[in-house]
Amino acid sequence: MRNATRIITSTMGVIMGLGGIEHGIGEILQGNHMPPEIVIASWPGSEFFQIVAGEPAMTIVPNFLAAGILTVLFSLIFLFWAVLFIDRKQGGLVLVALSIAMLLVGGGFGPPIIGILIGAAATRINSPLIGWRAHLSTGFQNFIRAFWPYLFCACVLDWLLLFPGLSILSYYLGLNDPDIIPVLFFSALGLLLLSILAGYASDVQGQGDATRAHAMIHGLQS
């Protein structure tokens, strides 16, 4: 099991799953009527979500209540799958499929898109990563293994600042500059990509340590 990659994908899966649930709750509260178009606002008119334009989403379900229920359901499955089953053989692909389902029923745009990214990253949890081991020096692997937790913490903090941090700061402290949203989003996305790459490199080092330990034990037994 790849420890760093699993931590990254599971943690981000929880954050994105909660983001999808939040969208679904807003859609449920809009009641039993038809959306005016495929692109909707999960929380229209909400002062708390004003800075994020009422949390945009899309849905192919022709009923707000049904869309919200399906969004909460798929988001819950997504969350629990990311925590409990992400390291299974097809765990990453299942997460990608759940992300697409979230996107289509009303889970917003950010959570499903990032869900697809972390699902793709999770497909490498059980792969040998031979190419990485061949091209990364031992010194660089050691550096990355020590550095990636700090990089990942910065990534998580950035995403939490986006959700729910921006809405909290806007509602309680009067921060109402929407221009900060793309800055935070692209910095969080960049940190996530770097965290995934650093996680791979860290797991390569861990795999190498395990291989050397196994060889040493085998030599002693011989």
How sure is the predictor about 172, in pLDDT bands with cuts at 50, 70 and 90? very high
Report how far Cα 155 is from the mean position of its chain's Cα atoms: 11
Mean pLDDT of 76-83: 97
> What average pLDDT does this structure show over 125-135?
65
Q: How far does Cα 51 stand from its chain's mean position?
A: 22
Is this prediction's pTM over 0.75?
yes
Residues 155-172, mean pLDDT to the nearest whole number:
94
- pLDDT tens for 40-59 read 999 999 999 999 999 999 99
Q: What is the pLDDT of residue 204?
A: 80
User: What pLDDT does residue 203 have?
Assistant: 83
164 prior amide bond cis, ω within 30:
yes
Degrees to nearest 5, angle at CA 26 with 24 and 28: 70
Q: What is the mean pLDDT of the chain?
A: 87
Residue 125 has pLDDT above 90, yes or no: no
**Of residues 205 and 130, which shows the higher confidence score?**
205
Give the whole-number percent of the chain exceeding pLDDT 70.
86
Burial of 213: CB neighbours in 10 Å, binned 0-12, 13-18, 19+ = exposed
Strand, coil or helix: what is 113?
helix
Token pair recorded at residue 26: 């807003």
